[in-house]
């Protein structure tokens, strides 16, 4: 039967419904389904269909396959189990197609079905835009956790915002970052189901108590603005395809599509004004990462999605159980940082004002239901909201915060807290212009608080919430982050995965700890060669991408040294490029020596308003320009800045990395998860004792990682003595010569003072300890070169990294949350 006949067979099946073969896992059924979708949903004939049309048709066919287990799960949920609700302003998902067919076990069938239509799966996957509804680590963690919760068959909903525009697209012009709007929904989104479900969300107005009621009794909020939150559901299929959860994202809709009277008067723009303002709430993701936005629109986003999510989960609970008394037994709500923390107060409002529960009972239910993950200690990233703004936008919530704070202060006084401690504990910071501390509110409103690595959780306890921890001991625990191996090893690195399966059996696919047995083979020369060959193949592919996107030609035999993450001073891309300049000078000084050829790869976005981060990007480009065109240097050093870093680019870079740069100032990177992805794929880490690097070192062994620099407590001690590093720089000839080279304009002859501020600022206020860590970093880099020249040693270390990273699976993280915070049953591997 030729394609055309097949298409019509599929088409008639589609029409009649009955003759369309069920998706039984066969190639034939998949082929008919894809063709049916192509014709009836996309509206194209196979003859004229574009790669994008084929992608969309395939996505619809695959979504059908996901839907049946989704229905089954929701039927089973009706049996009264506990559900997890993961509230996050960010889900950094990336592409969905390969993950979904991989987890459904349909990759082979889909590939073959498309092949029979003359279409290559590997080509059409490129048509899918990344869902970039997140900034970085926090959002990507939420995506990994969603996948792991489905894999472990935990009934869960992710709640977030369906941003029309995700994280901006980065283009680099003459070394300058420019931000362009991202348009992932421009051609529709085949994975989502728009729902008729919507909830009203109110803002502004006034509050009155009911006559005769206590201050803790129900109040009436008369808002002056109401917005509708409409639901869009995306199925999240777990590995093995046996369980599928829901990611429910909210879009803002104006209750009235337009002001008809204004329109009829001829005011066509004015007729839409309110609608535009209302719908701005879900228009765009805030592009900051470690600095609090503090803007009204951001608070509106936070409340909008928190309120819709709580209304939704409470109505689901009431339909199923008829009473809110059982909420803590049937629902666990996890707050991904403080961004959704206003949900704690919204829960109180709904319980007290709408469902008319007693205040104390409501507080107990709230506390037993909520838990909170902290993802940063940086003071500039900790959210606080001006009291005046809260009073204007959320008057009832501000009242409830005062009430809760009064009782909290009384409890503290009863336990002997003095004035200093009370000021530390208060939900309202009185010293910086009266602001509500969302971290404190989260601590108080939750029964469990966790950090995201062992060190970070210790610092959460000892630095951030010391007084809170003393008042409410035992709430803080650690849940070290993890990554989903399905995406970050099996799919991103199929060659290495095949090698691991051939060597260790396919048990490693479902139980990553079994990779530990790779250690027994780490000295096997044949396996080392095979491991190295897989790496080389990935590097060859990446070299092509580098040339396509930057024009730079790199030798895949070089050491690929990778720092990919958001651009931030604490992550110290500046330390990396400064050391690269020192290395460049050393090559020029002794070109005859044998130098290990290196390609330094940078990628990452800077927050649009973060001037110094943008200067660092520009410096990397200026240095690259000189180094890459220096005939004396040749292939001994190349510097590459890959624009527009996103999940899909990470999937190409991670398997091709030899060296992973994890060089944050100790105590500042909460965990890191790129560190895990790179080490899992066999890159060696050069890093500080920060975040999860410490646990990575514990697992791989100190002899299989390059650790340098001050520890977190040394950083704290040094900060206490002052941050001026002029002396230290002057005492260091290598560093001062590099700084001189930059400040004298050698990398920017057309504008000699371009980096004056950047470098002078670093010296007079070296908050990130660049000077203090420079020498030990350079020494660690020299050690890297020495090890690279001993291949048997290098590849043994690389294999031991892969072997010993199994613990960093997000399945392990989720199991820990499930057992000790959510108290929901989990499957064992």
Give the residues lining the site for ligand 26V (CB under 6 A).
135-138, 141, 286, 288-293, 337, 375-376, 381, 452, 481, 669-673, 691
Closest distance to ligand 26V from the beta carbon of 136 (Å): 5
Closest distance to ligand 26V from the beta carbon of 423 (Å): 25
Q: Of 23 and 138, which has the nearer Cβ to ligand 26V?
A: 138
Rounded CA gap, 443 and 31, in Å?
52
Q: Give the pairing type, strands 91-94 and 131-133.
A: antiparallel
Rounded CA gap, 327 and 363, in Å?
12
Closest distance to ligand 26V from the beta carbon of 791 (Å): 32
The number of beta carbons lying within 10 Å of the beta carbon of residue 263 is 14
Q: Which of 565, 598, 804, 812 is catalytic?
A: 565
Closest distance to ligand 26V from the beta carbon of 287 (Å): 7
Closest distance to ligand 26V from the beta carbon of 493 (Å): 21
Query: What is the per-residue DSSP string for 658-674?
Result: SEEEE-PPTT--S--SH
Catalytic status, residue 565 = yes
What does each C-alpha distance from 680 to 541, 750, 800 come to in angstroms? 19, 43, 9
Q: Which of 58, 497, 550, 673 is catalytic?
A: 673
- Cβ atoms of 499 and 534 closer than 8 Å: yes
Give kind and range of the element (H or E) at residue 500.
helix 494-504
Q: Of 117 and 613, which has the nearer Cβ to ligand 26V?
A: 613
Q: Which of 300, 339, 375, 583 is catalytic?
A: 375
Q: Which of 349, 677, 796, 812 is catalytic?
A: 677
Q: Of 571 and 618, which has the nearer Cβ to ligand 26V?
A: 571
Residue 352, helix vs strand vs coil: helix
Query: What is the per-residue DSSP string for 528-579?
Result: HHHHHHHHHHHHHHHHHHHHHHH-----TTSEEEEEES---GGGTHHHHHHH
Q: Give the pairing type, strands 206-209 and 193-203.
A: unpaired
Q: Of 155 and 691, which has the nearer Cβ to ligand 26V?
A: 691
What number of helices (H) and strands (E) belong to the chain? 35, 24
Q: Of 428 and 452, which has the nearer Cβ to ligand 26V?
A: 452
Closest distance to ligand 26V from the beta carbon of 663 (Å): 13
Q: Whose CA is closest to 372, among 279, 482, 457?
A: 457
Strand order in the sheet with 448-451: 193-203, 225-237, 244-253, 156-161, 83-87, 331-336, 370-373, 448-451, 476-478
What does each C-alpha distance from 391 to 22, 305, 382, 731 come to in angstroms? 56, 19, 20, 54
Closest distance to ligand 26V from the beta carbon of 320 (Å): 32
Q: Of 138 and 700, which has the nearer Cβ to ligand 26V?
A: 138
Closest distance to ligand 26V from the beta carbon of 518 (Å): 25
Q: Which of 571, 697, 796, 815 is catalytic?
A: 571
Q: Of 286 and 706, which has the nearer Cβ to ligand 26V?
A: 286
Q: Give the pairing type, strands 659-662 and 684-687.
A: parallel
Rounded CA gap, 561 and 625, in Å?
18
Q: Of 288 and 643, which has the nearer Cβ to ligand 26V?
A: 288
- Cβ atoms of 824 and 82 closer than 8 Å: yes
Q: Of 62 and 144, which has the nearer Cβ to ligand 26V?
A: 144
Q: Of 375 and 396, which has the nearer Cβ to ligand 26V?
A: 375
Closest distance to ligand 26V from the beta carbon of 473 (Å): 24
Burial-class residue 774 by CB neighbours within 10 Å (0-12, 13-18, 19+). Answer: buried
Side-chain-side CA neighbours of 289 within 13 Å: the count stands at 27
Residue 126, helix vs strand vs coil: helix
Q: Among all residues, whose Cβ is closest to ligand 26V?
A: 137
Q: Of 522 and 679, which has the nearer Cβ to ligand 26V?
A: 679
Q: Give the pairing type, strands 206-209 and 219-222.
A: antiparallel
Catalytic status, residue 566 = yes
User: How does 615-632 read in b/e, with b if 16+ C-beta sit within 10 Å?
Assistant: bbbbbbbbbbebbbeeee
- Cβ atoms of 566 and 167 closer than 8 Å: no
Closest distance to ligand 26V from the beta carbon of 482 (Å): 10
Altogether, the residues listed in the chain come to a count of 829
Q: In sequence order, what are the beta bridge partners of 53?
A: none
Closest distance to ligand 26V from the beta carbon of 440 (Å): 17
Closest distance to ligand 26V from the beta carbon of 690 (Å): 9
Q: Which of 397, 566, 754, 815 is catalytic?
A: 566
Catalytic status, residue 677 = yes
Side-chain-side CA neighbours of 366 within 13 Å: the count stands at 26
- Cβ atoms of 453 and 692 closer than 8 Å: yes
Rounded CA gap, 586 and 741, in Å?
14
What does each C-alpha distance from 312 to 301, 353, 660 come to in angstroms? 17, 17, 43
Give kind and range of the element (H or E) at residue 318.
helix 296-321
Q: Of 289 and 651, which has the nearer Cβ to ligand 26V?
A: 289
- Cβ atoms of 673 and 140 closer than 8 Å: yes
Q: Of 381 and 527, which has the nearer Cβ to ligand 26V?
A: 381
Q: Which residues contact 666 (CB under 8 A, 6 or more apart)?
A: 688, 689, 690, 709, 710, 711, 712, 714, 715
Closest distance to ligand 26V from the beta carbon of 683 (Å): 17
Question: What amino acid positions are annotated as catalytic residues?
Answer: 375, 565-566, 571, 673, 677
């Amino acid at each position: 039967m030729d394609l055309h006949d097949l298409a019509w067979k599929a088409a008639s099946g589609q029409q009649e419904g009955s003759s369309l073969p069920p998706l039984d896992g066969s190639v034939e059924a998949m082929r008919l389904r894809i063709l049916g979708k192509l014709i009836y949903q996309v509206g194209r004939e196979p003859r004229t269909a574009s790669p994008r049309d084929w992608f969309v048709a395939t996505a619809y066919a695959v979504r059908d396959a996901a839907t049946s287990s989704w229905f089954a799960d929701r039927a089973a949920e009706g049996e009264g189990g506990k559900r997890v609700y993961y509230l996050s302003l960010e889900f950094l998902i990336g592409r969905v197609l390969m993950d979904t067919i991989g987890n459904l076990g349909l990759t082979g069938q889909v590939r073959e079905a498309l092949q029979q239509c003359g279409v290559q799966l590997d080509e059409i996957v490129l048509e899918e835009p990344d869902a970039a509804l997140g900034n970085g680590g926090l959002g990507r963690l939420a995506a990994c956790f969603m996948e792991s919760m489905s894999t472990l068959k935990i009934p869960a909903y992710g709640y977030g915002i369906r941003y029309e525009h995700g994280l901006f697209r980065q283009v680099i012009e003459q070394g300058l970052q420019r931000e362009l709007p991202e348009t992932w929904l421009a051609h529709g989104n085949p994975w989502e189901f728009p729902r008729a479900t919507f909830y009203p969300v109110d803002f502004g107005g006034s509050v009155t108590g009911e006559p005769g009621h206590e201050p803790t009794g129900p109040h009436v909020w008369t808002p002056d603005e109401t917005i509708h939150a409409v639901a869009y559901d995306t199925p999240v299929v777990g590995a093995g395809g046996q369980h599928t959860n829901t990611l429910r994202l909210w879009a803002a809709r104006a209750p009235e599509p337009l002001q008809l009277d204004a329109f009829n008067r001829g005011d066509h723009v004015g007729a839409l004004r309110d609608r535009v303002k209302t719908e701005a709430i879900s228009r765009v993701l805030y592009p900051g990462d470690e600095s609090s936005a503090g803007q009204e629109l951001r608070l509106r986003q936070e409340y909008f999605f928190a309120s819709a999510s709580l209304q939704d989960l409470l109505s689901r609970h009431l339909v199923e159980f008829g009473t809110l008394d059982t909420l803590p037994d049937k629902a666990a709500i996890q707050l991904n940082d403080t961004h959704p923390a206003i949900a704690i107060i919204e829960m109180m409002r709904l319980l007290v004002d709408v469902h008319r529960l007693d205040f104390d009972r409501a507080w107990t239910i709230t506390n037993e239901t909520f838990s909170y993950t902290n993802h940063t200690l940086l003071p500039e990233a900790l959210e606080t909201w001006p009291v005046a703004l809260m009073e204007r936008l959320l008057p009832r919530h501000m009242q409830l915060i005062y009430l809760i704070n009064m009782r909290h202060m009384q409890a503290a006084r009863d336990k002997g807290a003095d004035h200093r401690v009370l000021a530390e504990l208060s939900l309202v910071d009185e010293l910086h212009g009266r602001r509500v501390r969302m971290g404190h509110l989260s601590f108080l409103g939750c029964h469990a608080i966790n950090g995201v690595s062992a060190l970070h959780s210790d610092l959460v306890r000892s630095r951030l919430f010391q007084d809170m921890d003393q008042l409410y001991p035992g709430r803080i625990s650690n849940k070290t982050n993890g990554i989903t191996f399905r995406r970050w090893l099996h799919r991103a690195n199929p060659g290495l995965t095949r090698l691991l399966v051939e060597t260790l059996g396919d048990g490693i696919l479902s139980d990553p700890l079994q990779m530990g047995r790779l250690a027994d083979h780490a000295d096997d020369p044949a396996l080392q060669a095979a491991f190295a060959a897989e790496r080389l193949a990935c590097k060859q592919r990446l070299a092509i991408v580098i040339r396509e996107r930057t024009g730079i030609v790199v030798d895949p035999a070089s050491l690929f040294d990778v720092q990919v993450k958001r651009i931030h001073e604490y992550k110290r891309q500046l330390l990396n490029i400064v050391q690269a300049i020192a290395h460049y000078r050393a090559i020029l000084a002794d070109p005859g020596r044998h130098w290990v050829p290196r390609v330094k790869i940078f990628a990452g976005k800077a927050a649009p308003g973060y001037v110094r981060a943008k200067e660092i990007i520009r410096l990397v480009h200026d240095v690259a320009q000189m180094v890459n065109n220096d005939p004396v240097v040749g292939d001994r050093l190349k510097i590459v800045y890959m624009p527009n870093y996103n999940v899909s680019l990470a999937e190409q870079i991670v398997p091709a990395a030899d060296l992973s740069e994890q060089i944050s100032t100790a105590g500042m990177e909460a965990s890191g998860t790129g560190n895990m992805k790179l080490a899992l794929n066999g890159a060696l880490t050069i890093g500080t004792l920060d975040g999860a690097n410490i646990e990575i070192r514990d697992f791989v062994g100190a002899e299989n990682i390059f650790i340098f620099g001050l520890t977190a407590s040394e950083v704290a001690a040094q900060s206490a003595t002052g941050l001026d590093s002029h002396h230290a720089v002057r005492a260091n000839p290598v560093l001062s010569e590099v700084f001189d080279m930059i400040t004298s304009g050698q990398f920017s002859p057309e504008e000699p003072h371009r980096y004056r501020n950047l470098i002078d600022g670093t010296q007079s206020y070296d908050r990130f300890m660049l000077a203090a860590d420079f020498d030990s970093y350079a020494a660690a880099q020299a050690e890297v070169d020495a090890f690279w020249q001993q291949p048997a040693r290098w590849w043994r270390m690389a294999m031991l990294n892969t072997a010993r990273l199994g613990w960093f699976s997000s399945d392990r993280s989720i199991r820990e949350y499930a057992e000790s915070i959510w108290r929901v049953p989990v499957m064992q591997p």
